[in-house]
Structure formats: structure tokens, C-alpha cells
Amino acid sequence: MGAPECWWSTWRGLAVAVTAACLLPHVAARVTDALWWRPRRLEAHFARQGVRGPPYRFLVGCVREMVALMAEATAKPMSPATSHNALPRVLAFYHYWRKIYGPTFLIWFGPTPRLTVADPELVREIFLTRAEAFDRYEAHPIVRQLEGDGLVSLHGDKWALHRRVLAPAFYPDNLNRLVPHVGRSVAALAERWRAMACASGGEVEVDVAEWFQAVAEEAITRATFGRSYASGRVVFRMQGRLMAFASEAFRKVLVPGYRYVKSNTTLIPTEISHRSEILH
């Protein structure tokens, strides 16, 4: 290597080092602000308005406490076993923190805050008159794949358009037209139970959770697509797997770039789409 090439290589390396040294403090400051100072400022902002919640913890937010509360709630059976109060079990963290902080409080999914509102009048006001002031949360990629472009995740004008298109489907007259479809699914379920009971001497024990899930899926499919549940069973089963993965992802902090990692979890939505196209 000649002297000019050596000189150029040295200066190029020096320039890269100087640039990195200049950028590093800026990047570190931005990361520190996003993961620590901004959450602390938001906590103080809401506290001044009387809205509090479990304290923010660096990077993970409240996720550890949420997972621990959910694990504790699901580790033992409901008491009494016939209780219909499912909230302390299915949303143990919400039930626990609401008793401490009231119906409106702040929780943290990593560095992302979520305002939890349970006051019926306030919820009504938000949905009817102030919906545009409340942004949608940025869902985990797996959760987003499950939800798709629905009202839960849309923003701005697109959200308003979808809401306007969907609203007529929930008018009483239109819902009444779905009653025969739902009735046929429920009647078929009752008939299957009756046949099982007769085959077992007049009494049979069943896991109603699985049956109710099946009849709900069948009723929805018949009402929306006019297709029997049996023909779409594969898609429903895969959606169930995706729901399980989404439920797990909901309790984790999002790692940037995860959506680009190919795994069984990230490939399920593609397979669901292909199966749906075949059915149609």
C-alpha cells in the first residue's frame, strides 16, 4: 500500500471514529429520554390531574407486575367454583390496581403508557364525543396480525370511515335478521348434547367452554359468510393458535425488528390467509 492510500485509510478511519463519537452522546440522550425521562414526565403530568397508577420501571414498565398478578390468579381455581365473577382471574392486574388507584389509572407496557378508564359516563363521553382525541395504542406485531385493520388499531380519517361503514350492522333491525342464524347454531348444539345424554343413560358431563366457543364461531360464520363451521374449522383452529400467541405477546415488551424474524408464530397469519382464499 502506497503512502496516499495509507493516508486516506487513516483519515477515513479517523473520520468514522469522530462521527461515531459525536453521534453516540446524541443517540444515548435520545434513548435515555425515550426510556426514562419521557415516562417520568408523563407520570408527573397525569399525577397533577389526579390520575395515578403503578410506578414506571425502566424499559419494562409494569409488565413484570402484570405477569406476576396473572400467574398468581390462574395458579388456583376460582372460589367458589360456581362464581361468575371472572374479572379477578382474566384481568387480575386490572382488578388489583383498580382497588388501589380507582376506576381511572395509568399503566405501562414497556415505555408506552395506557390510560385505563372504567367510569361508564367517562367511557361514553370518550367514544361519542372525544374519540378523535384518544390515539390507538401501537400493538405488538402478533396482536396486530390478529386484529388486522380493525377499529381497535385504526387512526384518524380511516378510523372514522370504518366506524361509519360498520355502524349500520349493529342497528337493532339488522341484528334481528341474524337471530335465525344464531338460533340454528344453538339448536344444533342442544340437539348434540341431547344425543350425548341419551347415549350415556340420560346424563353426560361436557366441557361447556369448548362447546360455547364452537357454537359462537359457527353462528358468526353463518351470519357473516353463510358458510358452515365445519368448512372453516381449519382456519378457526389456526386463529385460535394465533390468539394464544397474541395473548402471550400482549404481556411482553416489544423488541424492535421482531416482526422480520421468521418463526412458526410469524408464519401463522400467512397460512391463515392462504387457507381463507382457498375456502372462498
pLDDT for 227-257, tens place per residue? 555 666 666 777 777 777 666 665 555 555 5
Degrees (nearest 5) of the Cα angle 234, 239, 240?
95
pLDDT one-digit tens code per residue, 73-108: 888 888 777 778 888 888 899 999 999 999 999 999
pLDDT average, residue stretch 188-215: 86
Asked whether residue 160 is assigned to any structural domain, the reply reads no
Q: Which residues pair with 61 in a beta bridge?
A: 109
Task: Residue count of the chain, please give it.
Answer: 280
Whole-structure pTM value: 0.63
Task: Specify if 113 maps to a domain.
Answer: yes
Closest Cα to residue 107, out of 57, 69, 68, 32?
57
| Inside any domain, residue 114 | yes
Whether 91 maps to a domain, the answer reads yes
Task: Report yes or no on 110 lying in a domain.
Answer: yes
Q: Give the chain's domain count.
A: 1
Q: Is residue 53 part of a domain?
A: yes
Buried b / exposed e over 80-118, threshold 16 CB at 10 Å, is eeeeeeeebeebbbbbbbbeebeebbbbbbbbebeebee
User: Domain range spanning residue 112?
Assistant: 20-38+49-134
Residue 239 located in a structural domain: no
State the pLDDT at residue 205. 86
In a domain, 89, yes or no: yes
